[in-house]
Structure 1
């Protein structure tokens, strides 16, 4: 077919020459204008060269680190514990004649909870009182005899032996009177034991005895338990490294042991957000526990609504100081590799750089950066999975939301 049109195999080198013959020459004359246009277009296309056009730089969000004051906290896990827990027992023998509370009641100091049979102890008290009256009468008589013998001995009428006998009789009567006084006190004490009272404000557990039951026979009988939870303790352990750091801070800030007890302690339950319960330090053990390498520390909380119960596991934080110029970045933008932690930043030419950093405590969703960036750096916020060091970007500036005011810095 190419021979009929006078074309060579190469479309870009068409000569337009026709073979001899009238029919062929006539047809060529008719097709020449169209052929010229096609050849012209083909030559034009063959003259262009393909050139790579790079894509535009990706738009990446950048933001400066948040700069604000951060309270640094010591974070720990602790347990709530009752300030007082006492088992109520029968200290005298007798039958239970009264139970004056409902299981689980909150009672005040001095509230009568159990009444043990009182009649035998009341009779013992009256018997001791009668004995005291008899002893007082005998003492009065022997005192008069003793004084009479003293007068007679002074006049050399009575012998010394008679005076000595009167003196001994009088001394014995005085001793017997004192014994009767002791017997009365013992009888009163035993009688008081029949009225079992609350030793402090607290909640009384379920009773362990029933009405009419004999108690105190042979050994003390448990009646119930009373627990004080207003206020309440929270105990927690501090590592040896933290103890040394805290002691260094105390020396630097000249904090005395008395002032240490005024340091606030905040507590939150596992189901609560934040640390809504406020208290103060109450006690720190004098030595490190060698088995665990920790120091036992205790805080005290008013607990007016009884939100904290003995045995609860709680989150604890204790303020250690403030950092007024802390730099914070979102925790999600922090990457890690074998060399440590890093963030991506954009330099003045909008080229991505990987910056090694040292992290501090976490504050809400942000992290304190101790070293590695400055307040003027532009940290990469978006596109973290696609950007690479050395990449040119188109910056889109944004801001990082500051943490809540009560968000403390913890590990």
Structure 2
């Protein structure tokens, strides 16, 4: 009897322990988390303009040093440093007294030689008449002819000296050679300038409207332009359009044209030097700025995705595509330029794929996701 009771108690204990173990197993069982939610959208297909992009630097269209071309004391400065001036506006005045005196001296020499020439002409004509009448020797004719010719030469020399004197006098007044902006003055009033046979730099003037922009293209980009235009019959007088943006903006607010291309590709760098010209009526652009440039090459249909939906790995660019069974695939793609915040996809997609545009960091290649379609229209901007 005791033996049966003992077996019974052992059986009850075993059943209780089994129940406890089963209960613990149910409480600690692993339950996989739900697939992460992501937003998917098909690439946007639209007509886009392909641009050729480059970087460059602005440069003044003209930059001229203004030296003192004659010696004298600087008498006046007629502008403010940094001022915009007009062509032929007076900028500097050098003491003029000695140069005005040189003009008067040259003019007096002319008057003297004119009088000498007049007398020589009279005596020469009289000597010829007397010689013709056999009333005078031929030596008198030769004498007065020589005197007349000498007076003519002296008169021409005096006139040349007058021209030089007037030219030197004009150099005492330095004027602006074109509309532009002045630099700072290098010499103060009262200083002797142009002395010692050397020119003294007074200031510099630049033409800042319009401005030049210099940039380079490599061979691949140059061949791309040639190919894009090989079937076009462009107006040979027309100039290619350029757009320019500053380094602190993403837009291209300045419009200009291609002005010059170098004679050939530099064999050492494999690049071609080019130049654009941009109006600058507000003078808000300065020479020496680093700028971004782009030029339209061709218009074509393309696929676009939000730029943040395109990842970059060691092998290149990629996007995350959701398949039929909601499994994520990492798809390599070739990309183009950015258009209105959207990245052009040149290769790797046909437009029917569901691309993850939101929740990219929650998805991984080979994993399952719960996709939600983006709102109708353009794909939404990608978010983590």
Q: Same fold (TM over 0.5)?
A: yes
Does 2:223 correspond to 1:247? no
Change (3 A) 1:70 1:144: same
Does 2:338 correspond to 1:362? yes
Structure 1 position 299, deviation (Å) = 1.2
Change (3 A) 1:338 1:178: closer
Structure 1 position 292, deviation (Å) = 2.6
SS at match of 2:93: strand
Match of 2:214 in 1: 235
Match of 1:397 in 2: 373
In the TM superposition, 1:121-136 aligns within 5 A as 121-136=99-114
Match of 2:278 in 1: 301
SS at match of 1:369: strand
Structure 1 position 149, deviation (Å) = 4.5
Q: Alignment partner for residue 86 of structure 1, among 57, 64, 72?
A: 64
Match of 2:165 in 1: 187
SS at match of 2:195: coil
Which one has the largest radius of gyration? 1
Give CA deviations for 1:223-259 in whole Å, capped at 9, x if unaligned: 1122221221111121222122223333332346643
Q: How many residues align?
A: 369
Instruction: Determine if contact 2:43/2:379 at 8 Å carries over to the other structure.
Output: no
Change (3 A) 1:389 1:87: closer
Change (3 A) 1:190 1:392: closer
Instruction: Determine if contact 1:125/1:184 at 8 Å carries over to the other structure.
Output: yes
- How far apart in 2 are the matches of 1:369 and 1:142? 94
Match of 1:344 in 2: 320
Change (3 A) 1:152 1:348: farther
Q: Bigger CA drift: 55-64 or 280-289? A: 55-64
Does 2:117 correspond to 1:144? no
Match of 2:25 in 1: none
Instruction: Determine if contact 1:250/1:256 at 8 Å carries over to the other structure.
Output: no
SS at match of 2:333: strand
Match of 1:275 in 2: 252
Does 2:254 correspond to 1:263? no
SS at match of 2:286: coil
Q: Alignment partner for residue 221 of structure 1, among 181, 200, 204?
A: 200
RMSD: 3.5
**For structure 2, which runs of at least 5 residues remain unmatched after alignment?**
23-29
Structure 1 position 93, deviation (Å) = 0.9
Does 2:284 correspond to 1:317? no
SS at match of 1:82: strand
Change (3 A) 1:56 1:122: closer
Instruction: Determine if contact 1:153/1:159 at 8 Å carries over to the other structure.
Output: yes
Give CA deviations for 1:82-136 in whole Å, capped at 9, x if unaligned: 1122221111111111121222221111111111110111011011111112222
